Structure 1
Amino acid sequence: MSEEKMYAVKNDEGKYWDFLDGTGFWILHISERPTTTSKEKAELVADNYGGHIVALIEEPEKVVLSKEQAEIVEDAHNAKRPASYIILKSNDEELLMNAYVNGFTVAKEKKYNVKVPHTKEAWYYKSGDTDLLTICPADKELRGTFTKAEIEHYGLQDCEKEEVTEDAD
């Protein structure tokens, strides 16, 4: 995030000073340049022409969390003491408090195609929530992929895996 700030001068009518030509206050979508990087310039306009300084800051980047971390942050919003809740539920207090304050997104879970053990030409795919079937390598992109949790659930940890890229979804 940049440390440089932008400033605008807004009057009581909700109009902004135009720093491009200095001709006065205008509604925002008409003003050619309603901001300046000079705090001194903004103070001078506010002193001479009225209005007040509005400091504009960049919105902080959202934190990327796992699904489990996101659930903790969401639950913390309903807790009486959110910080205490986060501390009790996780060892990543700083990360989760940052997400609580600045917002978050949930990371996409990696997905994998999994090779059937002891064969060279077959790969697992999911059929529904419980069935595992096999298919030849040429068709594996057309079938369901596995998350790490699903690989563990089906006992496929020792199998050869190929990570599926975003564009393969």
Structure 2
Amino acid sequence: MIKEKLYVIKSRSDDNFYFSGDRAIPNWSDNLISLFGSYEVAKEIAEDNNGQPVTFVEEPKKVVLTEEQAEIVERAHGDTWPAKYITDNTDDEYYSERILMEAFVNGYTVAKEKKYNVKVPHTKDVWYYKSVDGNLRTICPADKKLRGTFTEAEIEQYGLQDCEKEEVTDNDQ
């Protein structure tokens, strides 16, 4: 993967790139695209010609992975045969393997797992929480921050799928 970026100047008024001599840019030939290896140089010329510098080849979008998938990709970076490592450590679905290969090459971000407060059924304001020893307990707090938070996997583990749940936002935590 090329680490260096190239820039071209794009018109601010008509969404066109400066391809030919129909624009008054010094030293530009017809039917040629001038590429700039420096963002600063492209920006300076663009400002003088009512344009804006843009990355010539768009960077690929990073893949969004779960924590488990990200771990596979990280370990693949340290492996002698990364593609084989990814293949050996994914399920049999082509799609899963392809996503991890894309993440290996283009980079990735880890999806933030949603968390929920889970309400005890048939109560007014009683919520579940996990005790330090991992047991399920109930609480009736006025403050939302005191309620227990659960991932989807934990909700399933504790058998709380049929309970009312409320997504926890960053403001609630």
Say yes or no: TM over 0.5: yes
1:34 matches 2:26: no
> Aligned in 2, Cα 1:128/1:34: closer, same or farther, shift over 3 Å?
same
Offset of residue 150 of structure 1? 1.5
Structure 1 CA distance, aligned partners of 2:75 and 2:159?
Answer: 31
Structure 2 CA distance, aligned partners of 1:135 and 1:75?
Answer: 41
Structure 1 CA distance, aligned partners of 2:132 and 2:169?
Answer: 22
* 3-state secondary structure, aligned to 1:75: helix
Would the aligned equivalents of 2:76 and 2:82 in 1 still touch at CA under 8 Å? yes
Offset of residue 147 of structure 1? 0.8
1:5-84 matches, cutoff 5 A = 6=7, 33-35=40-42, 57-84=57-84
- The aligned length equals 129
Structure 2 CA distance, aligned partners of 1:111 and 1:120?
Answer: 21
**What residue number does 1:112 align with?**
116
**What residue number does 2:89 align with?**
89
Offset of residue 56 of structure 1? 5.9
Offset of residue 67 of structure 1? 0.9
Output the amino acid matched with 2:69. Q
Equivalent residue in structure 2 for 1:145, among 129, 146, 149: 149
Output the amino acid matched with 1:6. Y
Would the aligned equivalents of 2:116 and 2:167 in 1 still touch at CA under 8 Å? yes
Q: Percent identity, aligned pairs only?
A: 62
Write 1 or 2 for the structure with the bigger share of strand: 1
> Aligned in 2, Cα 1:59/1:114: closer, same or farther, shift over 3 Å?
same
Output the amino acid matched with 1:73. V
> Aligned in 2, Cα 1:21/1:70: closer, same or farther, shift over 3 Å?
same
- Name structure 2 gaps, 5 residues minimum: 1-5, 10-24, 28-37, 44-54
Residues 67-86 of structure 1, C-alpha deviation per residue, up to 9 Å, x if partnerless?
11111111211222211222
Structure 2 CA distance, aligned partners of 1:84 and 1:32?
Answer: 38
**What residue number does 2:16 align with?**
none
TM-score (norm 1): 0.62
Would the aligned equivalents of 2:128 and 2:138 in 1 still touch at CA under 8 Å? yes
Q: Which runs of 4+ in 1 moved over 4 A?
A: 55-58
Offset of residue 140 of structure 1? 3.3
> Aligned in 2, Cα 1:86/1:33: closer, same or farther, shift over 3 Å?
closer
* 3-state secondary structure, aligned to 1:113: strand
TM-score (norm 2): 0.61
**What residue number does 2:169 align with?**
165
- Name structure 1 gaps, 5 residues minimum: 9-19, 23-30, 37-54
